[in-house]
Amino acid sequence: MRALPFFRTSLASAGLAAAVLATACAKPAAQAGGTGDAASRVYVAPGQYDEFYMFASGGFSGQLAVYGLPSGRLLRVIPVFSQDGEKAYGYSEQSKPMLQTSYGFVPWDDSHHPSLSKTDALNDGRWIFINGNNTPRVARIDLAEMNTKEIIEIPNAAGNHASPFVTQGTEYVVAATRFSVPTPQRDVPIASYKENFGGQISFIAVDPKTGKMTLAFQIHMPGFDYDLARPGKGPSHGWAFFTSYNSEQANTLKERNASQNDKDFIAAVNWQVAEQCVAQGKAKRWPTRYAHNWVDAGDVAHSEMVSGSTVLEPSDCPGMVYYLPTPKSPHGVDVDPTGEFISAGGKLATVIPVFGYSRMAKAIADKAVDREIGGIPVLTYESVISCEVKEPGLGPLHTEFDDKGNAYTSMFVSSEIVKWRVKDCAVLDRIPTYYAIGHLLVPGGDTRKPDGKYVIALNKITKDRYLPTGPELAQSAQLIDITGDKMQLLLDFPTIGEPHYAQAIAASAIRDRQIRTFPLTENTDPFATRQEKDARVERKGNVVHVYMTAIRSHFMPDNIEGIEVGDSVYFHVTNLEQDWDVPHGFAITGANNSELLVMPGQTRTLAWVPQRPGVLPFYCTDFCSALHQEMQGYIRISARGAGVPLTFNTSK
């Protein structure tokens, strides 16, 4: 059971964790189901489309999964941070550069938070961003193609958890480090944590036309753990809010040592002031190195190493950062649709604090400051708090909002969603979840106009909800109707990987913009073969380039001889099809690699080193026609120096 260690490390009281598990195990599934009426409300008839796309992180699968709502049907897994043999992502020569980092090729990550691009505080359906938590990275996925187009590494950070949340006009994607590390990174004793370790908040600028990301500036923060973030909107536009725990600055046994203080902090960052300070030359250049990877117009990935980042110290830029005292070990921070209210989920807190943006602005004007930490004024709790949700449940984590002034907070420990009214913090309703809910989402729940039809619980543990599958059980999402006064559970559905966080958008916003083929005439891959008569094999020393075409239902060439053991053979396969949903695959016996999956109009390259003499078949892996089984060829491998002439068949 994967979630158990998380329980133990995130809760101060082992007794509490035991109580929760007992509760979770005691609930028979039969008591928790929807009714027949509920089932009809999620039924999407064969041939019909879902109303929403939901994009859910795959957690430690490193990928992003696409589901339809309300049906919960899985539509696609988009490879992002992990190699994917099905799609040859991270295996084909064209996609390998996407996984380059300053540590070299890192073919896995832990993805947590998808964040849709926004225009005027509404989801605009252009891109979705997602974080790599382990080796700090942020990826951008194009929603017209549902493919990863760019990955930028974040220097001076570790555990990129508070990421990647998008400002209301996609001016920036924000990111912050969960684990403080020596800043700049260097060899120091761990016991010197308080002197040498620091946090980092990063602002990644997004080109409004192309989406291209650039690391604009970073803010060097005290060595706390920065956990989650939400940018402001409306009146609070220009600000971003970051939770932090471990204000104790513990470096060992954090479950106890980082749970001492009654309050930790939200860091409120005014990024417009930060921009001014950068423009005034108040930032320093730090000698860092990080990878920036992107896919060009011809669908070929590139990786470049960037040097140096622009870092601001809070003490050099007054007015840029304030701390809001926040009970206790806060996790999520969320901004309501009006942009006025900011709520936090303190894992160990007994209340949900709701801060007022206008109160914060007044507290800053009135200098309602308690003390300073690292040049950052700490505003008094009383001056910034708007109201507290009393007795909400146990282990509040995350909040999303509907379009009627209500908030929905996930309760990890008591496994429930609590609905409360934003303006006065009154609890209105609660519903159990099965089990141990982490994030939750309302479609558009972080925009100024949420679609308050559903809330979806994203759960860590399924226990008895599905047929058992050995030691590891599926993780799950639950669809809950929020149109009435009482929340109603409609559907459980298992997910691919941990559905850590998800966002959803009306299908109509992106459905009709989906790309169906890549135009062959626009294929700029240097190894493309645009017509079958140009198919050929060329040898340069030990390197052999096979310029191969694929069209229903044959490869050209499909007989190749004169290859020798130890050659470096590159199969450059171009799919000549120009029809929707006709990919071809390419696989060869014994390749230390995946197949290729080549979309219509695209070129993909498989690198292969033959190891022993013989004749090996290759074939199409993606069922493409009635004669798909005939889509096959042979390659003859001779001993090193055998002198068999290079030959191949052609259609000339």
Kindly state the smallest distance separating residue 86's Cβ from Cu ion, in Å: 15
Kindly state the smallest distance separating residue 597's Cβ from Cu ion, in Å: 10
Kindly state the smallest distance separating residue 583's Cβ from Cu ion, in Å: 8
CB 359 within 8 A of CB 340: no
Query: Beta-strand (E) ranges in 357-405?
Result: 369-373, 376-379, 385-390, 396-401
Identify which range of 17-25, 224-232, 430-438, 583-591 contacts Cu ion by CB under 5 A.
583-591
Distance CA 585, CA 621 (A): 4
Distance CA 267, CA 232 (A): 12
Kindly state the smallest distance separating residue 415's Cβ from Cu ion, in Å: 47
Identify which range of 237-245, 350-358, 427-435, 581-589 contacts Cu ion by CB under 5 A.
581-589
Kind plus residue range of the DSSP H or E element containing 256: helix 254-257
Distance CA 295, CA 601 (A): 16
Binding flag, residue 604, Cu ion (CB under 5 A): no
Kindly state the smallest distance separating residue 585's Cβ from Cu ion, in Å: 7
Task: Select the residue interacting with Cu ion from 584, 588, 594, 610 (CB under 5 A).
Answer: 584
From the list 81, 24, 29, the residue with the least C-alpha distance to 58 is 81
Kindly state the smallest distance separating residue 620's Cβ from Cu ion, in Å: 3
Closest to Cu ion by CB, 584 or 604: 584
Kindly state the smallest distance separating residue 335's Cβ from Cu ion, in Å: 49
Closest to Cu ion by CB, 366 or 579: 579
33 CB burial (10 A radius; 0-12, 13-18, 19+): middle
Kindly state the smallest distance separating residue 598's Cβ from Cu ion, in Å: 9
Q: How far is CA 57 from CA 166, 181, 417, 461, in A?
A: 16, 26, 20, 16
The helix/strand/coil state of 541 is coil
Closest to Cu ion by CB, 266 or 624: 624
The string of DSSP letters for 216-238 reads EEEEEE-SSEEEEEEE--GGGTT
Kindly state the smallest distance separating residue 549's Cβ from Cu ion, in Å: 12
Identify which range of 300-308, 444-452, 484-492, 580-588 contacts Cu ion by CB under 5 A.
580-588
Kindly state the smallest distance separating residue 553's Cβ from Cu ion, in Å: 6
Closest to Cu ion by CB, 310 or 625: 625
Binding flag, residue 554, Cu ion (CB under 5 A): no
Which residues have a Cβ under 8 Å from the Cβ of 320 and sit 6 or more positions away? 219, 269, 270, 273, 274, 277, 312, 314
Closest to Cu ion by CB, 116 or 596: 596
Closest to Cu ion by CB, 161 or 584: 584
* Residue position matching structure tokens 């999620």: 42
Closest to Cu ion by CB, 114 or 583: 583
Kindly state the smallest distance separating residue 550's Cβ from Cu ion, in Å: 6
Closest to Cu ion by CB, 266 or 520: 520
Which residues have a Cβ under 8 Å from the Cβ of 548 and sit 6 or more positions away? 529, 535, 555, 556, 557, 571, 572, 573, 574, 586
Closest to Cu ion by CB, 409 or 603: 603
Q: Which two tokens stand for residue 282?
A: 């108040």
From residue 509 to residue 528, the character string flagging contacts with Cu ion as x (rule: CB under 5 A) and all else as - is --------------------
Kindly state the smallest distance separating residue 557's Cβ from Cu ion, in Å: 16
Distance CA 474, CA 461 (A): 8
Q: Which two tokens stand for residue 340?
A: 């006025």
Closest to Cu ion by CB, 92 or 202: 92
485 CB burial (10 A radius; 0-12, 13-18, 19+): exposed
Kindly state the smallest distance separating residue 225's Cβ from Cu ion, in Å: 50
From residue 610 to residue 649, the character string flagging contacts with Cu ion as x (rule: CB under 5 A) and all else as - is ----------x---x------x------------------
Binding flag, residue 237, Cu ion (CB under 5 A): no
Closest to Cu ion by CB, 136 or 585: 585
Identify which range of 236-244, 451-459, 534-542, 584-592 contacts Cu ion by CB under 5 A.
584-592
CB 408 within 8 A of CB 393: no
Distance CA 331, CA 344 (A): 7
The helix/strand/coil state of 304 is strand
Q: How many residues in the shown chain lie near Cu ion by CB under 5 A?
A: 4
Phi/psi of residue 623, nearest 5 degrees: -55, 115
Which residues have a Cβ under 8 Å from the Cβ of 566 and sit 6 or more positions away? 542, 609, 610, 640
DSSP β-bridge partners for residue 638: 564
Closest to Cu ion by CB, 219 or 548: 548
CB 77 within 8 A of CB 499: no
Closest to Cu ion by CB, 310 or 553: 553
Binding flag, residue 556, Cu ion (CB under 5 A): no
The footprint of Cu ion (CB under 5 A) covers 584, 620, 624, 631
